Structure formats: C-alpha cells, structure tokens
C-alpha cells in the first residue's frame, strides 16, 4: 500500500501540470478518479491514452459538464472525494456550478486544488499562456541560455516544477491540516508563482549584487569554466560541475593541467580564457573516453546522455529507474519509501476501463439514474 492509501482524488481533465500532479498522488497510493471530457481537447499532442504516460495509475469516467444532470452526478462524486484537482481558466468551474463555494458547501472538508498559469486573480488571470510565457515573467527564461539569447528549457520549469509540484505540495499540506480542523480550503497554485519560487536563490543573489544580470556570467549559468557543458571529439557532450576546490583539483588532474598553470579558480575575469583551454582539451577525446578517465574520481564529470541513451545507463539500471507500463518504458515512481510501496498502478489503457467498479468503490451505484449522463471511456 502506498503512503496515500485511502485518499480519494477527483481529477478534472486538463493538460500538463494537473495530470502530472494526479499521477504523483496515484503513484503514492491515492485512489484517483479522472473526469474526462467526452471529446478530449486537442493540443496536437498524444491523444492515445495507451501512450500517454501521465494518465497511468487511475480510472476514468467521462462526463459532459455542459449537461445539468451530468454536473449533478459529478457534484455527487465531489462529496466522496478528499481532494479535487482542476486546471481550468478562472471562473470556468464556477460557471459550471462546480466551483469551490458549491463543492465546499456540499463537502466542507474538501481540499480544492486549482492549477492555472497566472493565478485566480491579477491583470493576467484571464490571459492565455504556456510555460514559456510564465517563466518569461519570472526571470527564469532570461537567466537560462547563452550570452547571446535565452534558451527554452523544455516545459519543465513552469508546467511541472513551478506548477505541478506546487499543486501537489499545497494539496497535501491542506489535506494534513484538514485532518485536524475538519475544514477544507482552496489551493490557488499558479505556474508563475511556482516558477518565481524556483528562482528565489537567484533573485536573492541579484538583490545583494552577488549575481550579474547577464547570462553566462555567473557560477551556475555557464559562466564559470568549471560548471558547464563541453563538446567532445565525437561531437557529443560532457557536463562538468567541479565547484568545490577538491573537485576542481580532480578535474584539472583528469585534464592533465597543474593547478599553478591556471589563474585562481574564482577569478571571474580569467574564466573566458580558462574555458577556452578546457574546451580545447575536451575536444581531443571522445565523450566515453573522458568518462573512463574521470570514472571513480571526484571531478563531477558526467556524460550528457541522449534521450534514447538514458534507460541504458548502468546507474538507472541498478536503481530500476524505469518501468514498463502497458508496453511503454517510462520513469519509475519517485521518491522511494522505505516501508510503503510506490506503484504505477493501472496502465493508461486500464484507466479507461473499470469505470463502473470505480464508482462502486466510491460508494455510488453505476446504474443510479443520476449517473446516466456519465459516459464510459
């Protein structure tokens, strides 16, 4: 049993952060029931649930929320849930008659988790956007990239780090508090807020003058020659993170450079010259040859693996970091618990079946006339 066994989560279909947070809760043992649209929204992404890894671990029903009877059935489901997750634009759930006031009136201990890009209020609350827009407003996009221009860091920072993680943490904090108070509450999780929190260490250093507001000029943004990415002789890459003095010494030893042959490690003005010297040396051997040289040392040098290489790395194999769910290889649940069990649970395909059983488990009769508008995926 996972640590969240017994927790019931009602998830309204959304893209990105909401299903990621729901997947995390399901992996930890929560019983997650997903309310899907009769016709899923099309973003040009994967629509085949068998290949949508974020849908693993829960069962699904489909409901046309524009239908009053269907909304009534879904409201009944909210009364059986401990947590509700939704990712609509502010005001949409209220117009559907499923907003926080309505749901908390029916179930006072419900934790109502709301995920948006800009938050429930503010000048941008009703503005559309995506990860790149949210991190653009927090300084994160500005700080990542080359000296010449910002680089898009996938959609990991805003959608999942700043969004889904914030939602999951906030929801679980509210669940814990509700167990003592008996009262639920609304969680306003915004991707722009979470992205800003991720930037707290950098923004704090900017405020004190420790961080230059220019890319590739600082310790951790690629400016330091001992913390960056280098191309190897076979056109692949290495990640170097030798910050501390002993690690830096191990890096120089592997490169065949004497410490006294270089300016002091933290002499910022010398960083460009040192970087050029490192780059020339790394270009003389293949990535795997350098990995062999640095293996077992404290130089903090690792290969930059391609997506197809990742599952085959010895460390991931030893830790069983990948699982096969429905024929699709994907990351295993994390974090790992010493006593309770983390599991992927149902496959995405299985989540589309067993809807009647799911409703029975939630204390509802699948043939109840009130539930007739609920289709089955």
Phi, psi of 10 (to 5 degrees): -105, 115
Of the candidates 31, 131, 159, 221, the residue annotated as catalytic is 159
Helix axes 165-181, 17-27, angle to 10 degrees: 60
**What is the helix (H) or strand (E) element at residue 323, kind and residue range?**
strand 322-325
User: Do residues 286 and 232 lie in contact, with contact meaning Cβ atoms separated by under 8 Å?
Assistant: yes
Nearest-angstrom CA–CA distance, 240 and 304? 10
Q: Is 159 a catalytic residue?
A: yes
76, with CB counted inside 10 A (0-12, 13-18, 19+), is middle
Q: Is 368 a catalytic residue?
A: no
DSSP state of 14: -
* Strand intervals (E) in 163-246: 185-190, 227-231, 237-241
Nearest-angstrom CA–CA distance, 258 and 251? 10
End-to-end CA distance of the chain: give it in Å, rounded.
27
DSSP letter for each residue of 251-308: HHHHHT--GGGS--TT-GGGHHHHHHHHHHHHTTS-HHHHHHHHTTSSS-EEE---TT
Of the candidates 130, 142, 313, 316, the residue annotated as catalytic is 130
Nearest to 11 by CA among 40, 31, 29: 31
Nearest to 124 by CA among 75, 206, 193, 57: 193
Residues with catalytic roles: 130, 159
């Amino acid at each position: 049993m996972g640590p969240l066994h017994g927790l019931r989560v009602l998830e309204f279909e959304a893209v990105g952060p909401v299903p990621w947070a729901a997947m995390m809760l399901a992996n930890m043992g929560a019983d997650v029931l997903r309310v899907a649209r009769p016709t899923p929204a099309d973003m040009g992404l994967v629509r085949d649930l068998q290949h949508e890894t974020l849908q693993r671990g829960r069962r699904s029903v489909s409901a046309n929320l524009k239908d009053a009877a269907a909304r009534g059935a879904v409201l009944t489901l909210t009364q059986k849930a401990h947590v509700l997750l939704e990712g609509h634009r502010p005001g949409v759930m209220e117009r559907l008659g499923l907003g926080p006031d309505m749901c908390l009136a029916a179930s006072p201990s419900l934790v109502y988790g709301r995920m948006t890009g800009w938050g429930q209020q503010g000048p941008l609350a009703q503005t559309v956007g995506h990860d790149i827009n949210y991190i653009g407003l927090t300084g994160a996009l500005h700080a990542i990239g080359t000296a010449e221009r910002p680089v898009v860091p996938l959609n990991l920072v805003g959608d999942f780090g700043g969004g889904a993680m914030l939602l999951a943490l906030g929801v679980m904090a509210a669940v814990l508090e509700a167990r003592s108070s008996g009262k639920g509450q609304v969680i306003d999780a915004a991707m722009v807020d979470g992205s800003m929190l991720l930037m707290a260490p950098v923004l704090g250093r900017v405020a004190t003058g420790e961080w230059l507001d220019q890319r590739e000029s600082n310790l951790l943004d690629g400016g330091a020659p001992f913390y960056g990415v280098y191309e190897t002789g076979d056109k692949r890459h290495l990640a170097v993170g030798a910050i501390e003095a002993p690690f830096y010494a191990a890096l120089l030893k592997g490169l065949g450079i004497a410490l006294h042959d270089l300016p002091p490690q933290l002499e910022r003005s010398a960083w460009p010259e040192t970087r050029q010297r490192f780059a020339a040396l790394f270009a003389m051997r293949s990535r795997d040859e350098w990995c062999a040289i640095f293996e077992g040392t404290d130089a903090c040098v690792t290969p930059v693996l391609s997506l197809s290489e990742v599952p085959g790395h010895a460390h991931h194999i030893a830790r069983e970091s990948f699982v096969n769910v429905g024929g699709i290889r994907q990351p295993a649940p994390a974090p790992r618990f010493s006593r309770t069990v983390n599991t992927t649970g149902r496959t995405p395909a299985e989540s589309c079946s067993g809807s009647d059983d799911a409703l029975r488990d939630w204390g509802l009769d699948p043939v109840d006339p009130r539930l007739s508008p609920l289709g089955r995926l």
